[in-house]
Structures are given as structure tokens and as C-alpha cells.
Structure 1
Amino acid sequence: MSGAVPLLVTLVIQAMVALALLTLPVMAPVVAGDLGVSPAWVGLYVAVTYAGAMTASLLGGDAVRRLGAIRVSQWGLLLCAAGLLLCSQPHLGTMALGAVLIGLGYGPITPASSHLLARTTPAHRMALVFSVKQTGVPVGSMLAGALVPPVLLGVGWQASLAVVAAVCVACAVLAQPLRVGMDADRDRAQAVHLGSLWRPVQLVLAHRSLSTMAACSFMFSMVQMSLTTYLVTFLTQDLSLGIVAAGLALSAAQVGGVSGRIGWGYVADRWLGAGRTLLLLAALMVASALATALLRSDTPQALLVLILVVFGASAIGWNGVYLAEVARRAPAGQASLATGGTLAFTFLGVVIGPPVFGLLATLSGTYRTGFVALMGVASLCGVLLVRLVRLRAD
């Protein structure tokens, strides 16, 4: 099997579930107005989705071994579609259930893709290939930022969610012909049960390098999801931008993320290695969070876009380097299990980060406070990464 085919398939699926997850946050100011709640509540939506994603990622390794990576991805897409349809109903309880389903669909996608790519990628190209695949996340977010606001203005937020749900279903159907070849290594005897929840965490905690990477991803994910969740709301409320302009600004950050994921993978493979590359990204996150907090309504548009592109390149661009290092460090044949274990910590950061960001914004009356807090988180991660670089030889 050519390595290009698994890469393309996993990239497209990753983009679709990212689009599904971020559709509601992009339209948060409008939805919140209709429901009579603060837009800061979108942080709780993100927390609920990633709580579901954390559970699904822990089960993902065993599910992939039993069902195959493509089948697990198809189920993920269908769960996201069902969750979006529930979120289209203007009731907080129904939307909460929809958020859970979206999270359950999102969670196993990365363990499934890691399983496919670890089998088909040469060791010396791991960081670059995994980084290219992970561009699916900012690509999906970029689609959400560029396409959802115009559709929202045209047909309303409820119909917009149904449109994205239909796209997810179509992607699941189109993946079916690929299943025979790509899921040939599935093991029907592999059990999937509640005990599977702890096995990936045990694997991570038993390996020092994996546990260090997991802690790093916990903090980086707080920065990434706080940025993508609240950027549109920050720009519309604190800087008085229109929702379409704010959505395009989010797309600019995602463009930085796409470029960064590919570029940082190349840098890690060819020059710096994973530890030093991630340390550089932590420093860029600190500087970008400060610059974002200082943005004003009269900031030149070119400068605003530049800041957000750099912020996206760092805060959104780290995942491929991290996932490749996890797959490389994992015991033979356990890339999906190790990925699921470390992703549990990644998703935990997402569960905690956006609600805390929203709380800080609510208490202070400005979203700038949240971006200042992200500086502290990225700085702490930098300290941890200095230790990782020093312990590289262990």
C-alpha cells in the first residue's frame, strides 16, 4: 500500500471531524444570542466534547485493532454528524448531548490515523508525514472559519449545523471502498471493554519519554483550543469586528497552523529534533499570546493578521511533531495504544483550558485576560521541554 493513500485519507477525515467540532464555536455569538446565554459558555461546549473525546481516545487503540482504522473513522464521522444534528436543536440539554457525541466521534480519529501511518511511514519521515496529516485539524478549522459564517447568514445556524452533518455522512460513505485493503490487519478477537480505558494510560506512565510528551501536550492543548474557541468572540466583542471578518481572521490563524505543521515537521526531522522544535514553539506561543492580548480595534489589519498567523503556526502547529514522537517512542505495534494514552492528557488540557479561559474573561470583563493566562501556560510548558531536551538521551 502506497504511503500517499493512507496520508490523504487520514488527512481528509481529520479535517472533517475538526470542521464538525468547531462549527458551533465559530457561530457562538449568534447562537448564544438566540439562547440568551453568554458566548463564554462555548468553553463548556468544548469541555464536554473533549471529555467525550478523551474517553473515546482511550478506547480507540483496542477498537482500531478489532474493527480496523477505517471502520473506526467511519463511526467517528457518523457520531459527529449525529451530534451536530442534536446541537441544531435550541435546547441546552440537547446541545450538551450533541457535544458528547461529537467528542466520542472525534476522539478515536487520531489513534486510527496513527495506526495506519505508523505501518506505512519510514522512520526518517515520521515527523513530516504525521505533521502533514495533522494539517487536517487547521484545514477543518479554516473551513469552519471561512465557510460557516456566510452559510450561517444565509440559512441560519440550525440549518448550517445540518449541512456540516451531511458532509460528515458523505465522507463516511466515500471511505467504505477503502476498508478492505486498509483494515486487512484487524483482529476480531481483540476485546474492547471498560478495562481498555486504563491500558493506554498505564503504557504512557510506564515510559518516561511518553509521560513527558503527554504532559507537554496537556499544556499546549490548553493554548490551542482556547485560541480557536475564543478568537472569533474576542475579535467581535473586544475589537468590534464583524463576524465574517472575525471568521476570516480565524482562518488566517489556521493558515499559519497548516504551514506550521508541515514546516515544523520538516525542521524536527532535519535539524532540531522533536524536543528543541517544541521548545521553540512554546517560546513563540508566549510572544504571540502577549501580542494578541495587546491588540486594539485600531490595530492595522496587516499586523493583526501577521500576529494571528504566527500564533496559529505555533499554537496549532505543534501536534504533528508531538504525535510522530509518540509513535516513534511507542513499543512495537502499540502506536495507536500509546497515541490514545497521550491524547487522554491532550484532551484533558482541552477540557480544562477553554472553561478557565471563559471564566477569566467573564470575571475580568475582557477576553484579553485569558490570553495573558495562556502566556503563563506556555511558559510552564517551556520549562518542561528544557528538561526533555536535557533528558533526550534516556
Structure 2
Amino acid sequence: MVRSAGAASGRRAMVIASLATVAGSLPVFFTAAMAVQVSRDLNFGTVGIGAAVATFFGTMALTSMYLGRVADRLGATRSLRIASFGAGVSALGIATSARAWWALAGWLVVSGTAAALAQPAANRLLINRVRITRLGTAFGLKQSAPPTASMLAGLSVPVIALTVGWRWAFAVAAIAAFAMAIAVGPTPSSAPAPVARKERQKLQPLRDPGTLLLLATGFGLGFASNSAVLAFFVDAATRSGLSSSAAGLVFAASSLAAIIVRVVAGIACDRLTFRPLRLCAALLTAGAVGVALLAAGGPGLVPVGGIMAIAGTWGFPGVFWFAVIRAYPQTPGRITGAMAPASVGGVLGPIGFGVLAANVSDGAAWWATAGVALLAALAMLFGAQRLAADAPPPATT
């Protein structure tokens, strides 16, 4: 049952969940935003960037189901503290010891593991501390964390990477993550008790696995399109004629657009009556249009396409998590873990894009990405129908 919490406790939960998710996302988004500088210094190309980003998301996919149960066992605050510390270790490792692709990928494995723990822990914190009538807003704010990290990464290109060097940007990310581990604070005395081992052994399978599989497929396809855009947008922008500084600023502006979309969509979920997954489909469709503009190319279309592509393909996750966790309020960690393996799309997206770009053309890779986003939108539409038919009424306080 969703627990009710005071307004102050709910606001603090939103802030902690959001900032901890930002901290966990910094290493991979700094890698994507500084792809030009990192790949030049470590001597690898387009496929290497895609593979490095895919390493992060692949680790999340492989560990998320287990770590979802760990988050339910350890509790939200303890899990977020561990996750933030792990993200800091990863960023510091990249800053100080990444001298080749394999070292960068190895530290992104650490980061991906930390992020896989942070996601269900943050969801658990929100479901336990935020009133049901504010849950859409809470997830919108929390899911604005990754584009916030992306925006910070984009701004760091002209501010840090092109001035004192990209390694200093990762050092700053490490400091931020360690600070977050401290800021999470001790577990509140009123926190829900961790799930006991005997109780965990009695857990029943999650309801309606067919619907969950469909939703996970849509989420994975959306994740694939989004991760490809994030991994290659800066590189594509510079190839189209934009300077590295301008490309970084457009990347930051696109991330800001994604933040706005996620927050507004979350508020809409609380205040309007509609099927949230239909909104996911609309956002993914808009993102596909933006990716098509990137496929068309040209310095005039790339900024507009980038904003639409990132805001659309990255705008839907907050609404998605709101929909599925509202349908499964008693097991937020487990349902997060059950969905999160779909982040394998984050592996296939960048790798597939890199292979197509290297062997066919950049345009072909962008058109394929747009098609994947449209398939994700269709899966969300069908998922909305099935979830509405199968889900029980939302839990109330």
C-alpha cells in the first residue's frame, strides 16, 4: 500500500531521489557529451563511443532485476547512499586512470551498477514518502534527473572540457556524487522496514506477465532510440558544421527541453484523467520526427532535430514509471527491476547505430533510430490498452 507522508517529507524525498539519480547518471552522460575529446585522447572512434555507452546500459540491464530486490531489502536511503558512492568512484576512476577504451568501459560498468541500484531505490523512496495525488509530479521531477545530468554534461564541454580538459569534468562529477552520498543522510526512523528474508521467499510472480513483457519491449525500444541519440548527437552536430562548443550548448538546451517535458508531463498525470502510456506514445512519436530531422542533416536542422529528438525520446520515462508503479504499488522495487532489463535497448541502440554509421551511412543510422522510436510508440499504445484492462484500481491512502 502506498504510504502517506507529510508535505515536508514528500518534498525532501523528491529532492533526494532526483539528485541521487543525477549523480548516478553523470559518468555516462559526460562520456557522451565529451565524445569528441575522450575518443581523441583515448584513440578510438565512433563505434568505440557507442560501445562505451552501451557498456553502461548493458550493466544496468544485467544487474537491475537483482538490485531491484536489493533496494527493497536494504531500504531506499541506504541503497541511494551506496549508489551515489559507487557513481563517485566511477567518475574519479575515469578522471584519474582511464588511458584506453577498456579502462573507460570498466569504470562505466561500475557506474552502470550504481545506477541500477539507484533507480529502484529512488522509486521506492517516492512510493513510500509521497502522497498518491502528487506521485505523477514526483516521478516527473525524479525522471528529470537524467536530462539534468545530460544538460550539465553539455554545459561542461565549453566550460571545462575545452578549457582545462575533460578529465577535470569527471573529477567535478566525482565530487558531486560523493557529496550526494553524504546528503542522503541516515535512514529516517519512520522509514518502512526492509523486506525480511522469509517474506522475500514468499513473493508471488508479478501480475500479468504478458502485459509486462509488452511494456518492457516498448520501454526497451524507446531506450534504444534515446541512447543512440544521446551517444551520437554531439558527434553528428560537429560533423554537420557546428563547433564543439556550439554542439555542447545545443546538447544542453535539448536536455533542458527534456527536463521541462518530464516535469510538465508528471504534473499532467496528477491533474488530468487520461491513460499515461498514451502520452508516452505521443512523446516517442514527436521524438521520431526529431530524429528524422537529424537524418536530413544540415546545421540549420540539427539543432531543431536534436531538441525534438532528445525531448521526445527522453521525455517519456517519467510517465512510464508513473504508470507501471501506480499499477504495482506494493512492489516498487520488484516492478522497477522487472522493467529495467529492457535497458538492454541502451546497449543495442548505440552499438547498432555505430555499426550502421560505419558501414552504411550516418543518415541510414538516424532513419533506423526514428523507426525504432515509432515502434516503441506503438508498443506503448497497445500496452496502455492492456494495462487499463488488467490493472486494479490505484491504491489509496
- 1:67-101 deviations in whole A, cap 9, x for unaligned? 22111112112212222233232123322211110
Is the 8 Å Cα contact of residues 141 and 263 (structure 2) preserved in structure 1?
yes
Moved more, 123-132 or 103-112: 123-132
Return the alpha-carbon distance in structure 1 between the equivalents of residues 130 and 167 of structure 2: 41
1:344 aligns with 2:352: no
How far apart in 2 are the matches of 1:127 and 1:145?
27
Query: 1 CA distance for matches of 2:286 and 2:297?
Result: 17
The separation in 2 between residues aligned to 1:65 and 1:191, in whole angstroms, is 13
CA–CA separation in structure 2 for the residues paired with 1:35 and 1:191: 49
1:140-151 aligned within 5 A: 140-151=149-160
- Which ranges in structure 2 are unaligned for 5 or more consecutive residues? 1-5, 391-397
| Residue in 1 that maps onto 2:293 | 291
TM-score when normalising by structure 2: 0.88
Name the aligned partner's letter for residue 233 of structure 1. Answer: D
**In 2, distance between residues paired with 1:307 and 1:251?**
14
Aligned to 2:15, which of 2, 8, 24?
8
* Equivalent residue for 1:335, pick from 332, 341, 348: 332
Q: CA deviation at 1:363?
A: 1.1
Q: Distance in 2 between matches of 1:192 and 1:252?
A: 46
Q: 2:349 aligns with which of 326, 349, 353?
A: 353
**Partner Cα separation in structure 2 for residue 191 and residue 141 of structure 1:** 41
C-alpha displacement of 1:380: 1.6
Structure 1 runs of 4+ with >4 Å offset: none
Per-residue deviation at 1:374? Answer: 1.3
Shift of residue 43, structure 1, vs aligned partner: 0.9
Q: Does 1:43 align with 2:50?
A: yes
Counterpart code for 1:59:
Y
Q: Secondary structure at the match of 1:180?
A: coil
**Deviation string, structure 1 residues 342-376 (Cα, Å, up to 9, x no partner):** 0111x11101111101111111243x322211121
Q: CA deviation at 1:181?
A: 4.2
Residue identity over aligned pairs, in percent, reads 24
- Matched position secondary structure for 2:84: helix
| CA distance in 1: counterparts of 2:164 and 2:357, whole angstroms | 30
Contact kept in structure 2, 1:31 and 1:157, CA below 8 Å: yes
Tell me, in whole angstroms, the C-alpha distance in 1 between the residues paired with 2:86 and 2:316: 27
Is 2:19 aligned against 1:22? no
| Count of paired positions | 379
Q: CA deviation at 1:217?
A: 0.5
CA contact (8 A) 2:284 2:376 kept: yes
From 222, 225, 228, the counterpart of 1:223: 225
Q: Distance in 2 between matches of 1:126 and 1:210?
A: 21
2:393 counterpart residue number = none
Instruction: Give 2:394's aligned residue.
Output: none
Equivalent residue runs for 1:1-394 within 5 Å: 1=6, 2-88=9-95, 89-176=98-185, 178-181=186-189, 184-187=191-194, 189-190=196-197, 203=206, 206-237=208-239, 239-269=240-270, 270-297=272-299, 299=300, 304-330=302-328, 332-345=329-342, 347-366=343-362, 368-391=363-386, 392-394=388-390
* Per-residue deviation, 1:192: 12
TM-score, normalised relative to structure 1: 0.89
CA gap 1:352/1:192 in 2 versus in 1, 3 angstroms? farther
Aligned mates of 2:196, 2:215 — CA distance in 1: 31
Q: Tell me the C-alpha RMSD between the 2 structures.
A: 2.5
Distance 1:192 1:40, change over 3 A: farther
Match for 1:256: what amino acid? A
